[in-house]
Amino acid sequence: MKTKKETEEIINILRKCYPDCKCSLDFKTPYQMMVAVMLSAQCTDERVNIVTKDMFKKYPTPEKMSKLTIPEIEKMIHSCGFYKNKAKSLHGLTRKLLDEYDGVVPETMKELETFPGIGRKCANVIMLEAFHNPQGIAVDTHARRISNRIGLSDKKDPEQIEKDLLKRVKKEDYFDANHLFVWHGRKTCDARKPDCSNCKVNKYCNYYKKLNKE
């Protein structure tokens, strides 16, 4: 397992590799961020952006979204995958937001995680992107893969991986770490064909070292 110092060095190197990294989901308000990140489960951000482009023009607020039935939502988000469950979640979180929070997205992890379709990973992203107040590190498929390959965590469960990461990543690095892991996973550390030879942090990577031994 990597030390705090090694983890800091890895993050600093990745900063230089991806100086312009940012969230790839399109949104203008905390509510839109909430909707977009919920739809992004098991779906690419590019596909979500295509779907939300028209949806947010017609239904940009929870008040307007609440007028839609679940079947109407299903039709709009069909291409995002798991559309039936996501439609129920979108309908439920919108109603909850209006009924319990007057349409204002709460700014705490604890409250966010009570909404349909919003688990810890989504709550982390909302706190980061909508409120610029990261409380942890969102462990998506990229963060999980990179953490396991490099040796930041040997766990499989996202919440356990996050606990390992938070032991090694400084709080002031939470913001960048969230973006850097995603970008490194997309640009270099691909699931099937990682570009290990050109990876700038390969000297720290357990996966790379194992490959070279073999």
What stretches of the chain show up as alpha helix (H) in DSSP? 4-17, 30-39, 45-58, 62-65, 70-77, 83-101, 109-112, 120-129, 141-150, 158-168, 174-187, 206-213
Domain match, 35 and 120 both: yes
| Whether pLDDT at 163 is above 70 | yes
Identify the band that residue 213 occupies on the pLDDT scale cut at 50, 70 and 90: confident
Q: Is the same domain home to 113 and 188?
A: no
Give yes or no: residues 171 and 198 share one domain. Answer: yes
Classify 213 as helix, strand or coil: helix
Number of domains in the chain: 2
pLDDT at 124: 97
Residues 39 and 119 in one domain: yes
pLDDT of residue 211: 87
Q: Please check whether residues 77 and 125 belong to one and the same domain.
A: yes
CATH of the domain at 146: 1.10.1670.10
Question: How far is Cα 100 from Cα 113, in angstroms, rounded to an integer?
Answer: 14
Same domain, yes or no: 14 and 57:
no
User: 91 with 70: CB under 8 angstroms?
Assistant: yes
Average pLDDT over residues 113-122: 97
pLDDT value at 105 more than 90: yes
The model's pLDDT over 12-51, given as tens digits with 9 standing for 90+, comes to: 999 999 999 999 999 999 999 999 999 999 999 999 999 9
Q: CA 203, CA 101: separation in Å to the nearest integer?
A: 48
Report the share of the chain in percent with pLDDT over 70: 100
- The pLDDT confidence band at residue 212, using thresholds 50, 70 and 90, is confident
* Residue 117 pLDDT exceeds 80: yes
Task: Classify residue 214: in a domain, yes or no.
Answer: no
187 inside domain: yes
**Which CATH number goes with the domain that contains 71?**
1.10.340.30
| Residue that finishes a domain, picked among 100, 129, 158 | 129
Report pTM. 0.93
Q: Of 94, 109, 129, which one is at a domain's C-terminal end?
A: 129
pLDDT at position 136, please?
96
Residue 143: the pLDDT is 96
Position 148 in a domain: yes
State whether 54 and 96 are in the same domain.
yes
Are 49 and 120 members of one domain? yes
The yes-or-no verdict on residue 162 having pLDDT over 70 is yes
Residue showing tokens 């709550």: 123
Quick one: pLDDT at residue 214?
55
Range of the domain at 97: 30-129
213 or 78, greater pLDDT: 78
Residues 110 and 177 in one domain: no
Mind telling me the catalytic residues? Answer: 121, 140
Average pLDDT over all residues of the chain: 96
Average pLDDT over residues 167-174: 95
89 shares its domain with 165: no
